[in-house]
Every structure is written in C-alpha cells, then in structure tokens.
Structure 1
Amino acid sequence: MKTFSLNKGLAALWYPFIFGFYLFCTPALARNTLLFSLSQQQTQVSGIVTDGTIPISGVSISVKNQNNTVVTDFDGKFTIIVSSHDILIFTYIGFKTIEIPVAERLVINVQMKQDATSLQEVKVNAGYYSVKESERTGSIARITSKDIETQPVTNVLATMQGRMAGVNIIQTTGVPGGGFDIKIRGQNSIRSEGNAPLYLIDGVPYASETIGYNQTSTVYPSTTSPLNSINPDTIESIEILKDADATAIYGSRGANGVVLITTKKGKAGKTTFTVSGSTGTGTVTKFMKLMNTEQYLAMRKQAFENDGIPYNSWDYDINGTWDQSRYTNWQKKLIGGTARITDLQTAISGGSEKTQFLISGNYHTQSSVFPGDFIYKKGDSQFNLSHRSEDNKFRVTLSAGYNSQNNDQPAFDFTYDARSLAPNAPALYDANGNLNWENGTWDNPLRNLNAKFEAKTNDLIANSVLSYELCQGLIIKSSFGYTNLSTVETRTAPSSVYNPDYNISSANSSLYVNNTDRSSWIIEPQISWTKELGLGKIDLLAGTTFQNQTTTRLFQSGTGYSSNNLIYNLASAKYINVLQNDQTIYKYQAFFGRINYNLDKRYIINLTARRDGSSRFGPGNQFATFGAVGLAWLFSNESFLKNTSWLSFGKLRSSYGTTGNDQIGDYQFLNTYSTTGVNYDGTVGLEPTRLYNADFGWETNKKLEAALELGFFHDKIFTTVSWYQNRSSNQLVGVPLPGTTGFTVLQSNLNAVVQNRGLELTLRTNNLTHENFSWTTSVNLTFAKNKLLSFPGLESSSYSQKYRLNEPLNIELVYQYKGVNAQTGVFEFEDINKDGKITFPEDRQKTVDLNPEYYGGLQNQLRFKRWNFDFLLQFVKQKNRISPMGFAGQMSNQPVYKTDRWQETGDLSAYQLYTTGNNGDAVTADYLYDRSDASITDASFIRLKNISLSYQLPLRLNTVQSKIILQGQNLLTFTKFKDGDPEFTSSGFLPPLKVITAGVQLTF
C-alpha cells in the first residue's frame, strides 16, 4: 500500500508537464477545453426579489434543467450556487415567471410583475388531495391568511362573513367567547342542531358540538362554542367544500359542507422572528331609539287616563316617588361601555430546503361592555415541523396547537334591563358609593354583578403525516390525529342579587357546574398513484379511516349555603343535584377512494366514494355508501379558442352525488333511562326516557350542481356562476306517538324531503396593476331558496304549527294584521275561520319567510407604494322580527316610534292606545301583534364589515421590517331596521360589537 501511494504521488509530479505539452501541441483544442472547465466552476449569486416596491418572500429560484432550488426569505433575499452559463428561473404564485441568465454576474436583483393567469395554477386543498384551481371539478370557496390577517376577530367563523358565496354566517352574541351560526347552502336538516358542517384542522376532525350547558352559560343566546379555541392568526387558508364532488369523499359527514382549516407552516430560508402587538376598543354597533323621560311619562299618564284608574302606590316612576325630571340613558349605562382589547403575537420560522419549522404564540384579552371588571383571556401556541429526505421520497409533517381560555363574565346579560328600565329610574349608587336600592322601590340592575359566569377551557390538537414514494407516482401515506378538550363552567346566583328588603338569605343561593371532557383520535392510512397515460393523466387514491371519540359530561347544581363565601364549594350546598352524568363513545370507520382522469387538460372526470360505518345507528343500519361524479370541460384549451386574445379561461363543470348526516348524538336508537329523583327506602328509581328503534338510519343529501367559470383578458376579469340543488331526505326527527305509550315521540327516520336551491355568483377583477399602485375587486352574491317538499303526517305531528309544505323551514306562522281600529284604538287581526274571535292555531296561519332573499360581499384591495388598504362591504336582503317590548303604557320603556299611537276616536295611527295592563283587550291585542306579520319588518342592511390600513415603514435597517396596522370590524351599518342591530334581533341579548384596533408588527 505504501509503495502504491508513493508511486501515485511521484506520478502526480508529471501532471503539469503533460498539461503544458498538451497546450503546446494542440492549442485550439486546449483553449476550448479550458474555457469549458472554467465555465463549470461554481460561484455564489445573491440578490433581492421585489414587486417594484416591497420585497417578496417565498419566491422560488431554480436553475434551469437542474435540481437546484432555493426560496427568498422574508426580506426577499436569496443566495444560490450556480455556474456562469446557468439560467435562473424565478416563479411565484400570482406573478409572471422570469428566466435570467447568470452571465458571470454575482448579484442579480429582480422585479417581478403580477400575472392574474397564473392564479389558475394555485393548488386548492380538497381534503384528501389537492388540485389545481383550473382543474377542480367541485365547488370550493377559499380565503387565505391575507384575508384573515386584516380582521380583528377571535372566532374562525367571523373571518368568513361576507367573503364566500353560499356561506351564510350570523354572529349570535356580542359577549366575548360567544358563538356563530353557519349554514353552507342552506338548512338541510329539520333538526336545527343537525346543520353544522364538518370541521377539519390539518386533516384532523374537530367536533363542533357545543361544550357549554344552558344552565351555566351566559354567552346567550348560545352556549360556549369550541370553535373559539381555533386561533385565526395561525391559519394559512380556509377552504369550504360545498357540492357533492367536493364533499362525497367525506361521506356521512359531508351533507352540510366541509370546512378545511390549514395552519401556517415554516418556509425555507433565513430564520425570521416576528412580533406584533395591537390594542383596541369594542362598542355596541347600534342602540335602540327609546323614549326620553318626557315621552315616557306622557305615555304612562295617558295609559292611566285611558284605563280610568288612579296611580298605585307601587307606580314609583309617576306617583312622585322618583324624580320626574331625572333622565338616564340606560343603554349607555349598562351596555354602552368600552371593551378593551389587546393582542400579542410572536412567531419564529425558517429552515433549509429539506427541513422547515414554525413556532408561534398568541395572547389575547378582551374586557366587557357591561359594568364591572370582566375579562376574556385566550392564549395559544402552535408548532409545526416539516422534513423531507435527500432523495425527496420520505416526508414527515408534525403539528400541534394548544389553546387555553379563561372567560369571566356576569351571569346575566344587561341588555334587557338597558332597554326596559324607566328613564327616570333612580341612580345606581348612593352617596356612599354603595348600590342604591332607593328605599326598596326598585331592583337595582347592578345587583346581577354579584352573579358570575366563569369558564376555563383547554384544547389540544396534534397531527402528524408520514409519506413515502415507493416509485415514480406511487405514494403511501398515513395521518395520525389527536384532540383533547376540557372545560369547567360555573354560574353562581348568590342571595346578594336580591333586593335587601326581600330578606333573602344565603339558603337561597345556588351554583351550577359543568365539567365536560372530549377526546378523539383518528388514523387514516392512504395510497395514491399518479401516472401519465398518453395525452391523459390518471390519479388514484384509496384509504381508510379509524376514529374514536369519547365525551364525558357532568352537570351539577347546588342550593342552600350557610354563607355566600362558600358558593363555589359544591360540598357546602345543602342540596346537590346531578343534572346529567354520562360518558358517550362514538366510533367511526370508513373506506374511501378517488379516481380522477384528465385528458389533454381539457376533459376531466372525478369519481369519489366512501363506505361509512357509525356507532350512532342501530344494528343493520350502521353502514352506508356515498359517492359522487364530477365532470369538467376546459373549453378554453380547445384549438379553436386557445389563441383567443380576450378569453383566457373557460370551464364548464357539473357534479352529482350523495352525502350523509349522522349528527344526532350518541345512543339515540337505544332504550335509555334516567333517575326519577325519588328516593324510596334508600334507593333512587329509574324511568325510561327513550324507546329502542333498530331501524334508525342515516339522513341522505343528494346534491346536483352546474357551473360556468370564465376568465377574460389574462384573467383580469374572472367570474363564476354556479347553480345548485340539494335534497335532504330520510330526516331524523321525532315521530309522534299516542300518549298511552308513555312517550310523546319516537326518534326515527321520516320520509320528509328538504330542498335547497340557489344561484351563486362571484367576480374578481384586476382593475389596475402598476409598479406603485394596484387595485383588485372581489364580489360574491348568493340567491338561495329553501323548501320543505314533503312531510308525511305533518298535520298530526308536533311540527304541525312550525312547518308548511312547499315553504321554507325558517318561517314564522303569524296572524294577519289589519291595523288599529279607529273607534276602539286597539290592534285588529284577520279572523280567518270567521268564528268571531282570534284563536290559535286557526287564525295564525300566514307564513313569513325569514331566510335571506340574497346575501353577499364586496371587497376591494388597494396598494400604493408602501400603503395597503382593504375593505369589505357585507350586504343582506332579509326580513326579521322586531324586538318585542311588551304593551306600551306599563312600567317599561318603549321605542320612540310608539309615540305614534291612537288617542281618540277617528285617529289613524301606527300603534294602539296606551294601557297600564287594565285593558284586557289591548293587552291581548299587543300579544297578538308580536305574533303577527306586523312584527316582521325589513331587516336588510349594508355593513362596512371590515377595514384594514397598513403602512410599511421605510427603515434603513436591512435586518428589520416594521409595519403599522389599523383595523376595524362592524364599523358602519346602513339599514331601515329600527330596533338596533339588523343582523342580531334578539331583544334581550347583547348584539355584536364594533371593534377598532391599532398595532405594529416587527420582523427580524
């Protein structure tokens, strides 16, 4: 070995002489060879990529015909090792691809130009697979983090309001931690609780059933929503799957649509640290216009005059006990406070081409508009790690999110008191700063500050995905998910909430406690294969799902305490009642598959199917099969249109299929029992609460859609028109039973059919694109119609006075209002059955549709140099009920429009005469009025839903970027509706808030 090494080393001494001889003898060949060798030398090239104004992060820079790729960091900077003869390719979604020769340069700065056409190449998340926007056969609506980041909201559903066609979202309360109602293409199930979509976070199902209990919750009129645990700031995109082609692969859980939430991931490049903070305020969007003291007292005096009775000793507002010159705007006092909002976020991300990571955290606080020190706190952390092997065959993604909430609110909503209290009611506090009871003449509304609602919720979501490419196009993959949610809610009602003159002791104090825990795991092995076949391409996917969910609930109450100081100690209560104590297990198994064939990028067929099994149904009905077919024709790729200058994209697509619904709770088909609460000789008895029904099966939703997508002038104008029809049958409702059976209903399937039909329109225009200025507009508009097509035995069912055939589900059966009788001054109504009196249900038969006639949104995004401006207008055409305030003339304030009342014979007025309650005909008429078509009014509105203004500071520090941000939510509302907020018309509960925040973001 030594001899060999030595000889090799000696031989090396001859290399310079041989090389020189070679140059001397063959100079031309040698020079060419030398130049080629020098050209292959690797050098480092760096630069910055911008859009002409600001750097662009995430731009992909690759070497042509080589497997060498890097991406720009947050500052738009890149570094790549190349040869002088190489060509660099710069690509980024929404911008034109650029090719630039290196040509021995060491610094290459690039300015990219926007290209709307490339947006068709965006990959859209369809759940188990992704698909190019141009090639999808299903209906999928999408928003990204760019839309989400402009909104100062804490609930994921709030981010979508007004931004998606076919998606109607209503905020149910303005109390922090409250919920939202969402309907995707209408109400499919007769049961109101059976219309929630399926939520998936990074592929992990997330149960949306409420975790609150109506006896402990104060976020009226809804209980606590688990969706508050999802931090919008961690979301990269939200896709809504709507039609059969998109949802059938989710089978029994896709009837009401699917919400896919994808969290942010790390990006390759320089490690960046981002910190942002904001602070703001929240106030009630709109108050009711109520009577002032002068108008109120005039109403009260006239009511006594009309009834012909003197003032009573308890009529403190008018008999001289209370100051009749006093005026208090109780809406401002009780719900007119300012909620303080703070938000702090941090994130660190980066990594190499093979491994990327992201770690983020958020802390949010919000106080209440109610009097007192109440606060909602929410903190969460997010972790994500992605890695791929050197040969790119093995990939792994790990993600986890943990959220903790602590909500402290009053146990009672002050909105009803704010609207009903007499404007000359006494002051809240006496001269010593104590609650003023005004000698026992009133129940001070602030007494309810002593009753509290507290909720602590912890939520963990974890997911991992492993995949391996066995050979070209053949990939095996498996995802593993786990969720764990626990909540503890308490609601107190101490004796101190009562007027001291009542002498109520702590023996009447009470406590309600809710302990709910829910955990779930899911495993989904999959295999996919992609293959080019001549002019076509085939994609195959097959997989299976195994899921298990366990929910434990314990609802308890305690009454009778020796002291209010012991009220949180349930063991100190004299009487303890277990309201509910159960554990339910939901098991789910499925097989799913997809076949997609794309011929020459013109003709596409997509077949999806799923075989589902659910423990929620009886033996023999636990399994069902669902499937769909989607077709698309990209006619813009036909030869006769391919070179058309004005038409850049054209696609016809259609789909048909079936999905299901198993949202009926667990064990609904079994005999169930509960305790009677009766103790007999030391033993508590049981009583049956539900009858066994082995035929309990799935609800089925058949979906049909046809759509046209068009792009003009390189997609500067892009529009979609979609028509859909969904028919949901085999409804899971209660079938009435004779009372002799001991039960009123049997939970069963009914051959009732609900139809939702509608038209969805979207339009995106790239109005102006310039180096220093750009302007884009997006519009969505939905016309929807809901109808009950059939309901056998409706007339004899418990739903007979709630639904009507060929009418929407969301209707009101009302009396027909005729006006105010000019002689008696009392409201009059149509006597339909002509029996001389107004009776229920005979005369309450007119139907009023409370579904929106149409709804949508208009969004504009503008950029000028370092300024970015974004605003969204939400609009709804609808009818809704006015807030019932009781008969005018009692000791309760009224809307100011009720001053237009009847006073004497012959008057033509909008409202009947005032009464204290002694006029029985007037009281009855007012009751009927609130249940007549007169109480239904135009509640249409246009709302400046969201506005965002940001400015990128021109810092000279290359390593730091700073942005100032101003945001607003629910800022302005234009409406004819007179009773407060038109979106939220429940009179006794807090409406949504107007929020304005300002913040700064720093990136290092």
Structure 2
Amino acid sequence: MLRLLYFSFVLLLSLTLSAQTTVTGTVTDGSETLIGVSIQAVGTTTGTVTDFDGTYTLTVPAGTDSLIYSYTGFQTQRVAIAGRTVIDITLAESTELLEEVVVIGYGVQQKDDLTGAVSVVESSELTDIPTQSLGQSLQGKVSGLQIIPGSGAPGADAIFRIRGVGTLNNADPLFVVDGMILSDISFLNPQDVQSISVLKDASATAIYGARGANGVIIVSTKQGGGAAGAGGFTVSAYTGTQEVIRTIDVLNANQYATLLNEVDVNEGRQPRFANPEQYGEGTNWQDEVFRTAPIYNAQLSFNGGGDRGTFNFSANYFRQDGIIEGSNFDRFTIRLNNSRQVKNWLNVGSNLSLGINGSDNVNAGSIITTAYRADPITVPIDSAGNFGDATAIGNTGNPLATIFYSNNRSQSYRAVGNAYADISFLDHFTFRTNFGLDFDYNRNRNFSPVFFVSANQQNEESSINVFNGYNRNWLWENTVSYNNNFGIHHLDGVAGVTYQDNFGEFLNGGRQRLIGDDPSFFYLNSGDVTTATNGGGAGSNWGLVSYLGRLNYTFDSRYLITVSGRLDGSSRFGDNYKYGFFPSVGLGWNISREDFFNADGIISRLKLRASWGQTGNDRIGDFDYLPRVVSGVGAVFGNDPVLVPGSTLTTLANPDLRWEETTQTDIGVELGLFDNKFLLEADFYRKVTNDILFNAPIPDYIGANAPLRNVASVLNRGVDLNVSWRETRSDFQYSIGGNASFVHNEVLKLDGTAVDFFNGGLGIGGQLGTNSRVGFAAGSFYGYELDGVFQNEEELATFPKFGNQQVGDLRFRDQNGDGVITAAEDRVILGSAIPDMILGVNGSANYRGIELSFDLTGQFGNEVINAKKMARFGAYNYETSFLDRWNGEGTSNSEPRITQAGQNIETLSTRFVEDGSYLRLRNVTLGYRFASGVTEKLRAQSLRIYVSGTNLVTSQKYSGYNPEIYNGSVFDNGIDRGSIYPIARTLTAGIDVTF
C-alpha cells in the first residue's frame, strides 16, 4: 500500500505542467486603502489579506481562473485573473455578506453557491465573552446550535447540540480544526480563531460520513499575510471580576429550627428546639462558600509574510479563579501557523497549537451540595478558630473544612497540529496530502492530610494518589480537487482517502501514611510501601479508513447541485458491518439571478435550497461488539475438592453491531430585502435516526449482561431561523439580528421486547426519573401528577393512596381510575429537558469610534427536576418554598406537611418539576476605537479600549442556580442534584492595540 502511494505521489509530480501565478495589487474603497481584505483563490484554500497600506501578494495555484475579494461591510467581488499579475480593486460598500467564502468540508465555497445549511461566525463575534471556551463564546450566535455551559467551574468547556438530540448515546458534533478531525475543541484559544462554519444538514455533513450525524463544526484559525517584509504586532488584554449570579433561597436558623420541630411532631417525636427564635438569621453557607474572584487574559500575536510565504504567531495566558475558593484554572497556549511557496507548483504549510493547562480541583460538587444542605445553626468557624461541626444537627459536614483540606492539582499538555502540501498539476487539479497529530498528556495528584472536624468528617491517615495518562490521535488525508469554468458552467469537486488512528493508556497509583504534609512529600515513595496500590490500562483504541467524494455544479450562477458521499470502515463495529456508505444530494436555485427577477424591487435576493442525505454516528465505546469476560473467579471440582481459577462471561457479543444512521431532509430559503439591508434565512428539516445503539434489557435467565444493540429510532424535526438588519448612515453604522431554533424530539421506535427505557437516577432508593418511550421525547421526565393534599380524614378515606399516607400528605392522581396508585399504571410523562425553542438576539452600533454591542440568549419549553429537594438523608436545610407547607386543613393544597422522609419527598412528582425557560443578557460591551491621529502619535495602527459585562441579568422561573443542566447523557439531562457549579456574572475592562 505504501509503495502504491509513493508511486502515485511521484506520478502526480511528473504531471505538473504549468507554473503558478503571483498576483499583486491594492484594494481601496475609492478614497482610502483597506486593511485586512480577504483574497481567496477560487476553488482552493489558498488566500491572503491586504497589508496596512492595502496591498497584497498572492501566489495562486495553476489552473485558478479568478480571485474573490471579501471585506466586512463591502460587496464581495469575484475577479477573473485573465493572465494579469497586477490587479487593483475598488470595493463598494454593502450591507450583505452573502457572497463570502465559506469553509466547508475539504474545501471552500462561495456562500451564494451553497446547497447545504451552513452558518458562519467570524472572529469579531467571538472575543467579547471573557472565557477560555470557544463553545461558550458561540452561545446564541447560530440557529440550530444549542450551547449548554455544562458547568460554571473555571476552565469548563461547553456542550454542543446541533438540531436536537438524535441518539441515546454521545450526541456531540464532529470538530475539524484547520483540517484536523477532533472530538473536542477545548484546547482552542478563541482569540486565535478566524471563522467557524457550522454544518447542519446532510448535504453539508455527508462528506464526514459515519461521524456527521450530530453535525460538524469547522474551525479556521488565523493565518498570516501581507507584502514582503510586512508584519503586524498586536497586544490584547483584559481583567475583571466574577461573582455568583444568584443564590438559592433557603431557611434561616429561626425558620429551620421551627420546621424541624414540626418534623419531630409529625413523625411522633418531641420537638428538639425549645426556643427557635434564639438562633436568629444564623449562617448562610452559600455566602460563606462563594466569593468574588478575578479573571485575567493577555495575548500577543505577530503575523506577516511575503510573496513566497505567510506566518501567524500568538501566545496567550488565561487565568480564572473560581467563585469557590480552591477551584482555579490557568492556561498558556502558543500557536504558529505558516505556509511557504516552495515551487510554483508546490505550496507547503503547517498549523501548530501547544497548550499547558493547570487546575486546582477542589471537590466543588460536594461543596455546593453541602452549602445548600448544611444547617444554618452551626457556625462556620468557632471562637477558637476550629471548624464548626455541621454533622451535629444536619449530618452534612462543614464545606469550609472540605475546601481547606483539599489539595488536588491536575495538569494537561496538549499538542494539536498538521502539516500539508498542495501540488498543482495539469491545469485545474490540486493534490493535497495532510498529516495531523493530536497528543494529549494528563496527570493528576491528590493529597489528603490527616484532619478532624467531627466524628463524621475526618481523615485518620494521610494519602496520596497520582494518575498519568495520554492519548494519541493521528490523521492522514490525501485528496485531489478539481476546479474549472466552462463559460456559464462551473464545476468543482474533491475525492480522497483518509486514515485515522487513536490510542491511549493510563497508569495510576496510591499510598497512605505519608511522612509529611509539605508539598515536597507529595510523591508515592513518601508513603508506606505496605499500603501501595496501582493500576493501569488502555484508554481509547480505534481506527478508521475512509473514501470520500463531492461534486459541485453551477449553471450560470442560477442552478446549483451538490452530490457527495463517504465510505467509512471502523474498528468500532462488528465483523458483519465494518463498512458503511453515506450519500447526499443538494439542490439550489438563485431566483434573484433570473432574467425575470426585478432586482430594483423590495426583494433584492431570493434563493431556494433543498437537500437529502444520510450520515452516521460512531460515538460508542471501543470493541463493544466483542464479548466481555471477567477473570479472577473460581470453582471447586474433583473428588478431592480443589479451587480452580477461571473466567466467566459477563456481556454477550454482537457481531451485527453497526452504525447509527441518520436520514435528513432540509428545505431552505434565503431572502434579502431593501438592497439586502434585511436578510432572512430559514431552514425546515426532518431528521430521523435509525438503528440507535443501546444496551436494551434481555431476559435475566440468559445469565449475562445485554450487548450493545441497534434497537431504537428517534425523530427531530424543526425550523432554524436567522434574521438581520444592517445599515450605514454617514458616521453611524448599526446592525441587529436574531436567530431562533424550534425542535420537536420524539422516540419513534424501541426494541420489540421493551416498552420503556428507564434511567436518570434521582438519589432516592435507586428511583429512576427519566423514560424514553415511543411518542415522547428521549429522556422524558416520568413520575406522578399531583392531585392536591389530603386535607382531612374524609379525603384520606376517599381518594386512593400510595403507601402509608396521612392527612397533610400529597395526593397523586389516579390516571386509570382503578382506585389504587401504582407505578406501572399511574406514572406519566412530566416534561423534558429538551427545549422547544432556543433564542439568540444580538446587536451592534458604531459612531465615530464609539462601539456598543449586546447579546441575549434564551431557551423555552424545557423542564428541570429539582432533585436536590428530594434527596434527604439527614436534617438538611429546606428551601423557602417549604414555608408554604400544609399546617392544618385549608392551609395548602400544593405543599404537604413538613417531613424528613416519606412519599412527599421520595416520590418524583410534578412537585419537583419546574419550568426551565430563561432569557439572559449574555453580554454588553462598550468600547472606543481611537482615531488615526492618536494612534499615529503612538506609532500604532489601531487602539481600542472597552468595558464588558457577561451574564448580567437572567430572567428565569427555576428556583435553582441555573436551568441549563447537563449530566452527560440524554437520559440524565435536566436533573439538578445540587452539585453543578453555578455560572458567574463577570465584569471586565480591556485594551487591544496593533503596531
């Protein structure tokens, strides 16, 4: 195989028949030169930007017949080269960005020629949010893309969902960074990003085959450019503070003591507090745990180039202290991108990112839960300086002691990069070979000292535990692209073969009874050798080989067709289904380019799109089609009984394990009004995922766990909507826009032996809170519907009961009217964590250097299970809603009498399901860009200062910290157990200066 590839490479070199062309020129707006104009060779990834004097130099591949010039706020122009080496261009102002060059899978394409649903976000829209997470920067920017801040912890990444949840497994999209295919983009510095393309329908994602079902996000980082010897040096920095947005209303000490006395009476005990009023307000543990914390960011970047090459270098330091002490994150990243025109027919380049992350990992989940539950009577620290014993009353422990005695540090080192070569041959062909590597090394060290707070909160022996692991992922892609115009016909395409391999392993160990508490002793050999433990094993281990192709045809810029497909072979699937083929077709009609269209009317642009295709999802474990066997078990055999070691089968094999397959149909319309000042883009889609993989239950008599099987189908259908208005009036420019996504999620089919798939543990006796059943959303909340409170003995005797209920307890609805309450017949769907609508609104204005921008985000139609109100294994504090309890006939018909256990608290019902809708002012930024007269005195090209506020105001009905609850699984989302790190309100001030 390698020999064949070698000879193919030599053959391609020998076919190089024509030299490339170097084009230079100047770009102006008619009066002044324009800095940073993007120039792209049509049909290739070769491009540059204008320098500080508006000039550019670009060596274009042989066979390229035209260049595209694009600049924000100006009309995009496509200009024929026609043998010229000097091309000067004057751009006209425009409010439309419709003809911008869009990065798609394995190439670029003019937006006007797209047949797929692709949304683009530029770098200028990403940097106002003070975060290290590119995902959180994207929230509210793209229709059809839901961004969930999985946690407010420092360094936490975001969760991406494109057009709903179409699987019962991992629903993350595929990420592509500068051509490197990855499973996450947590390593990226948002300030290094040039643009992001979100591929949503099958016409756009089918070229990624078995990994395209959840959508694809393509990230392009900043490249160099400019005339020979030119370069730009930029310094950007901001600093600010963070604080918790809201706290949960819980009882003060007086209220707590009063209600505990009621609990004692209701449960047949003597009241424990003689005088509750004496405790007053007591301790608010949330105030003790949360703090105001700083955040910092500094970036240095330098870019430039000449007629034979370009480069871009950046270095960034980010530091975020958590709003909980002991939870901190810092990251240092370096990026170097460069390209070099080695020969007229050969262009080489590379993109490299190096990152070092460090974090202090206090057990924030436990601390948040404890601060919510801890009794308000106990003091945090007594007069002698000792931690208060919070186990004496509420049996929770002291969260401040947990913080003080925590010493858990993690570090990771990650290198992500690729090197490529573009070889032009014949007149219109380009061969590209691209090799990428992602190497991630992680280590963790956790030290626990000897301490005593109480009998239930202590550690008698010190211990140290260490973990080291790495993951290596390489990708080799070889593609041939073709691009040519035949009069009014345009044809371009790409075909190729790719290989990807992933492997990881880990090693861990631990010891107890260290010789000291100083950090110099935080090593395994400092502990007692007799207490040593160790472990290790393989991490991920999979491989993929793929064959791909796409063909685009355009007739007179009016009629468009795209056909694409990919054949994938994966090590993750059974012997009978190693390979899967995923095709798509897309059609487009630029109606506004027809002769009959009145371009001078209100409607200035109109385009229709339609697509159909199939994609797959391979996000499962490795080798799940093989049987699972556990060793170390034994049996006694023989006349003279002897224990014989052996193994046993625990999980059955499934050689028929195959891809999850998503079939998607999309119809889109693009509309421009009033010379494209107003733009609208709407997509209507239907996406059905079949053969969803799940460990569906099998009969117990088989004696082994169920294998992973293709057992379910899920539907997502909806509408993605984008609208915007842009206008320039003399010195004043403004824009306002919004996006809305409507989605309906429904389980269409389950395995024939199962009616329900239960999951979502609530922490009460193993009770499961979610159910995926036909006709409802995947992972829907499942429980009892409230029918009031038993007000008296007559009602207690009349209405059906569930357990040993008494007057003042909750009454549950008898759904089938049989006079008894049973789990099988009377539980119903109570809601879903999947929102019906996701909203984003944004706006900006600029007047003589004064800049103002804002972002709103929201979601509507989803519910949250407030499970933290349910799980009670001690005399925990109560939320203030418990003050509205039943305390005699007629006092309440929604809140029961106060108890510490029983059906009122332990049974999932509508009492614990709350509205998860919210609307948040995500960001407001006010800045000032100094005039050229000031910057020239400073010998700078540009200077901008700004102040920014993030998560300033949130309107929500949910009583918890944040209604966006993600727990890692469609079965478990939306369940708030009280351990999720709250998001913070952040205020920052910053400066950007370019020399």
Structure 1 length-normalised TM: 0.83
1:530–1:539 Cα contact (<8 Å) kept = yes
Query: Aligned partner of 1:163: which letter?
Result: K
1:716–1:765 Cα contact (<8 Å) kept = yes
Question: In the alignment, does 2:418 pair up with 1:463?
Answer: yes
2:550–2:565 Cα contact (<8 Å) kept = yes
State which of 531, 548, 553 in structure 2 corresponds to 1:597. Answer: 553
Aligned to 1:943: 920
Q: Deviations over 1:254-279 (max 9, x none)?
A: 01111111111112143111112211
Aligned to 1:608: 564
1:382–1:399 Cα contact (<8 Å) kept = yes
User: 2: distance between equivalents of 1:46 and 1:638?
Assistant: 33
Where does 1:119-518 land on structure 2 (aligned, <5 Å)? 119-191=97-169, 194-208=170-184, 227-269=185-227, 270-312=230-272, 318=273, 324-325=279-280, 327-335=282-290, 337-371=291-325, 373-388=326-341, 391=344, 393-413=345-365, 414-426=367-379, 428-437=380-389, 443-449=397-403, 450-496=405-451, 498-501=452-455, 506-507=460-461, 511-518=464-471
Query: 1:746 is paired with a residue of what secondary structure?
Result: coil
1:98–1:246 distance in 2 versus 1, CA, 3 Å: closer
Query: Aligned partner of 2:304: which letter?
Result: G
Aligned to 2:622: 666
Question: In the alignment, does 2:786 pair up with 1:817?
Answer: yes
Query: 1:753 is paired with a residue of what secondary structure?
Result: strand
Could you tell me how far 1:697 is from its partner in structure 2?
1.2
User: 2: distance between equivalents of 1:239 and 1:558?
Assistant: 49
Query: Aligned partner of 1:957: which letter?
Result: K
Query: 1:632 is paired with a residue of what secondary structure?
Result: strand
Could you tell me how far 1:737 is from its partner in structure 2?
2.9
Aligned to 1:927: 906
1:287–1:981 Cα contact (<8 Å) kept = no
Aligned to 1:36: none
User: 2: distance between equivalents of 1:692 and 1:622?
Assistant: 15
State which of 944, 948, 953 in structure 2 corresponds to 1:967. Answer: 948
Where does 1:630-669 land on structure 2 (aligned, <5 Å)? 630-641=586-597, 643-669=599-625
1:360–1:381 Cα contact (<8 Å) kept = yes
Query: 1:174 is paired with a residue of what secondary structure?
Result: coil
Aligned to 2:813: 830
Could you tell me how far 1:59 is from its partner in structure 2?
3.5
- Identify the range of structure 1 (680-689 vs 715-724) with the bigger mean alpha-carbon deviation: 680-689
2:749–2:774 Cα contact (<8 Å) kept = yes
1:683–1:464 distance in 2 versus 1, CA, 3 Å: farther
Could you tell me how far 1:114 is from its partner in structure 2?
2.8
Question: In the alignment, does 2:867 pair up with 1:912?
Answer: no
Question: In the alignment, does 2:885 pair up with 1:901?
Answer: yes
Query: 1:808 is paired with a residue of what secondary structure?
Result: coil
User: 2: distance between equivalents of 1:964 and 1:924?
Assistant: 58
Aligned to 2:836: 853
Could you tell me how far 1:584 is from its partner in structure 2?
4.4
1:343–1:362 Cα contact (<8 Å) kept = yes
- Number of paired residues? 896
State which of 981, 984, 988 in structure 2 corresponds to 1:997. Answer: 988
RMSD between superposed Cα atoms in Å: 3.4
Could you tell me how far 1:326 is from its partner in structure 2?
5.0
State which of 39, 64, 71 in structure 2 corresponds to 1:92. Answer: 71
User: 1: distance between equivalents of 2:76 and 2:286?
Assistant: 58
Q: Deviations over 1:801-824 (max 9, x none)?
A: 722111110311111111122222
Question: In the alignment, does 2:774 pair up with 1:805?
Answer: yes
Aligned to 2:766: none
Aligned to 2:63: none
Q: Deviations over 1:871-923 (max 9, x none)?
A: 11112113222353248997322222221121112333431112355xxxxx2
1:457–1:55 distance in 2 versus 1, CA, 3 Å: farther
Query: 2:98 is paired with a residue of what secondary structure?
Result: helix
Query: Aligned partner of 1:809: which letter?
Result: A
Could you tell me how far 1:738 is from its partner in structure 2?
2.9
1:56–1:320 distance in 2 versus 1, CA, 3 Å: farther
Structure 2 length-normalised TM: 0.84
1:738–1:744 Cα contact (<8 Å) kept = no
1:837–1:727 distance in 2 versus 1, CA, 3 Å: same
Where does 1:708-857 land on structure 2 (aligned, <5 Å)? 708-750=669-711, 752-766=712-726, 768-795=727-754, 799=758, 802-823=771-792, 824-832=807-815, 837-857=820-840
Could you tell me how far 1:250 is from its partner in structure 2?
0.6
Aligned to 2:65: none
Query: Aligned partner of 2:109: which letter?
Result: V
Query: Aligned partner of 2:961: which letter?
Result: G
User: 2: distance between equivalents of 1:583 and 1:882?
Assistant: 35
Aligned to 1:876: 859
User: 2: distance between equivalents of 1:788 and 1:61?
Assistant: 47
Query: 1:281 is paired with a residue of what secondary structure?
Result: strand
User: 1: distance between equivalents of 2:196 and 2:828?
Assistant: 42
- Identify the range of structure 1 (978-987 vs 266-275) with the bigger mean alpha-carbon deviation: 978-987
Query: Aligned partner of 1:846: which letter?
Result: I
1:684–1:577 distance in 2 versus 1, CA, 3 Å: farther
Q: Whose radius of gyration is greater, 1 or 2?
A: 1
Query: Aligned partner of 1:540: which letter?
Result: G
Aligned to 1:19: none
Q: Deviations over 1:794-844 (max 9, x none)?
A: 536754972211111031111111112222211110234556554434332
User: 1: distance between equivalents of 2:619 and 2:495?
Assistant: 25
Query: Aligned partner of 2:823: which letter?
Result: F
Query: Aligned partner of 2:939: which letter?
Result: T
Query: Aligned partner of 1:365: which letter?
Result: R
Aligned to 1:6: none
Query: Aligned partner of 1:892: which letter?
Result: Y
Calculate percent identity across the aligned residue pairs.
26
Q: Deviations over 1:837-873 (max 9, x none)?
A: 5443433233423321111101001111111111111
